[in-house]
Amino acid sequence: MVTQKQPQQPDINQTPALIPHLESGDRLSRYEFERRYQAMPKHKKAELIEGVVYLASPLRFQSHAEPHGKIVIWLGTYQISTPGIKLGIEPTVRLDQDNEPQPDAVLLIEPSLGGKSRLTTDDYIEGAPELVIEIAASSAAYDLHDKKKAYRRNGIQEYIVWQMLENRLDWFALNESEYVPLEPNAEGILQSQVMPGLWLAVSALMAGDMSQVMAVLQAGLNSPEHIEFITRLASNIV
């Protein structure tokens, strides 16, 4: 008599194939970067820039967290006053096959109103947000080198980098495929070209005078170009 062999049951204690951890300096495709990131036991800030992995170090208060907060206050006030604009803090951005940054902040125009980026079905940004902001340690940081190249190549219209060691802020605007520094007006105010009404009193920000920063922003929000921008966005609503 032949006994029928019972199907073998899976061993629930069997260890699945291990997925390697992300390490700074790894050279990966975007697919492999995301696979390893999702398998990390504790998610933390990780970026893929020009095919190279960067893991964030612990963030200091005065040299990153506090200035980041000031930038968020400034951007958030603009976003509240500008229907059709979205603000994101440290979002993952799928730029291309070799770049998946996690910038400190982004402002984007909603896709339905003419924005160049979109939200994917799994809730990531894909494409180029209109404005990206980074808080950098110094001019030696990759924010001003490989990351800047990736942002330029992918068509991010404006890019702000605040270098903390130098206490310097650069605001770049895309002009014929190159980043050109925006120049302040006679009052020392930088004015966005892609987000009309987004004005920044740089010297006040550097001095920690947020009252003046917000007063200048309010002047931008009351400006004719900001009112025209809101009207233009509203006219695109389907």
**pTM as predicted:** 0.85
- Is 80 exceeded by the pLDDT of residue 238? no
Distance, in Å, from the CA atom of 166 to the CA atom of 201, rounded to the nearest integer, reads 17
- Which residue matches tokens 């190159």? 178
Better-scored residue on pLDDT, 41 or 184: 184
Please tell me what DSSP assigns to residue 36.
H
Query: What is the pLDDT, as a whole number, of residue 46?
Result: 87
Distance CA 109, CA 118 (A): 9
44-97: per-residue pLDDT in tens?
A: 788 888 888 888 877 889 889 999 999 999 999 999 999 999 999 999 999 999
Integer Cα distance of 168 and 50 in angstroms: 25
Cβ atoms of 216 and 201 within 8 Å: the answer is yes
What integer best gives the mean pLDDT of the chain? 89
List, in order of start, the domains of the chain with CATH numbers. 60-235 (3.90.1570.10)
Among residues 29, 118, 129, 150, the alpha carbon closest in space to that of 79 is found at 129
Taking the C-alpha atoms of residue 219 and residue 189, their distance in angstroms, rounded to an integer, is: 11
Report pLDDT for 11.
Answer: 46
Q: Does 167 or 6 have the greater pLDDT score?
A: 167
